Amino acid sequence: MSGSTAPAPRGLDGVVAAATRMSHVDGLAGQLIIGGYELKELAGRVSFEETAHLLWRGHLPNADELAMMRTEMATLRRLPSEALSVIRAAAKAPPIDALRMACATLSLDLSAPDAISPAADLAAAKMLTARFPTIVAAHARVSRGDNPIAPREDLGLAANFLYMVHGEAPDPIVARALDTYWVTVIDHGMNASTFAARVIASTRSDAVSAVTGAIGALKGPLHGGAPGPVLDMLVEINTADRAEAWLKKEMQEGRRIMGFGHRVYKVRDPRADVLARVAEEMSGAALHDRALFDLARAVEQTALRVLEESKPGRNLKTNVEFYTALVLQSLGLAPRSFVAMFACGRVAGWCAHVIEQHAEDHLIRPQSEYVGPRGLVVDRSR
């Protein structure tokens, strides 16, 4: 290679791409810090709207700030006609694709869609976070042949989403479970979708464009995860006594055990701990959940043992996908919608990074190492 610059590691592994106050992931300690708080300090104790405020404004809101923010975001939930038209046109598409397409239309509803001031970015963050659940709920209904249900302003963000999907106000335990899930996934270091959002924002592009690009990155299976296949695994195993043989057969055939192992965490994913508690609470809210939860607990313990025996030193521990599957299916949601549900929580984090990147106002423009041929000559005699 010519020049003095050493090539970056493949996939930029280990490269620090930004300084941020949003979140910190310590894979060796199994720690996730969000806006200065460990996840266990927030999840289940602080609402999703409060956590969004923490990332957007740098502090948890007081009572007046929270009330004002909730009121404002509740009025923003209704979708413009263009977004509804896209959702209907995308009725048969995967929910994450419908979300990406509908998200791109939301700039049509802004008075200054290209504005990137702190005030404009905050307004866009509130609008996008308020409307993502409306988009996913509307698509869920349209895809099964039902009409969308208009949002209610008297319900919290999570409760309103479940109302728009099912047509009735949810059990408070169920609504709190979804709210906690969204807090759990609101931000997670410099992942692929967050980096994509920051790259787009660094060009002085607008928040809607940056978030639309982030959805495209999230859609990829190497990033968006596979909580749906966790349910498939549990259904196939069926009973705890079949778990060990099933898991060993999967590994012998070279297949990955879903819900275990993480690119960053070398210990148990702290988000798995939070969602395990949520799943346990949910198991008491619906009669059919308890057996699945008990099976999942048994399969988890067997899988951890089998993975350690088969792949010693790999540290393949439980990740966020495992209990996400249990929580989201308990909400009455189809596995195909799980990645879009993740985006409904992560959008607040994406917007926070857009705000931060716009404030930094520096173009992200890395170099590349050319590995192609040189000195080729065009042969015009042929």
What would the two tokens of residue 32 be?
A: 């996730």
- Alpha-helix runs per DSSP H in the chain: 39-42, 48-57, 63-75, 81-89, 95-105, 118-143, 157-166, 172-184, 192-202, 207-219, 221-224, 227-237, 243-252, 270-283, 289-310, 320-330, 338-360
Q: Is 262 among the residues known to form the active site?
A: yes
DSSP string covering 220-250, please? SHHHH--HHHHHHHHHHH-SGGGHHHHHHHH
What one-letter code names the amino acid at 36? G
Task: Identify the active-site residue in 49, 281, 321, 356.
Answer: 321
Which member of 53, 139, 188, 262 is catalytic?
262
From start to end of 20-97, where are the E strands? 23-26, 31-34, 37-38
Alpha carbons 110 and 207: distance in angstroms, whole number: 11
Is position 288 annotated as part of the catalytic site? no
Active-site residues: which are they? 262, 321
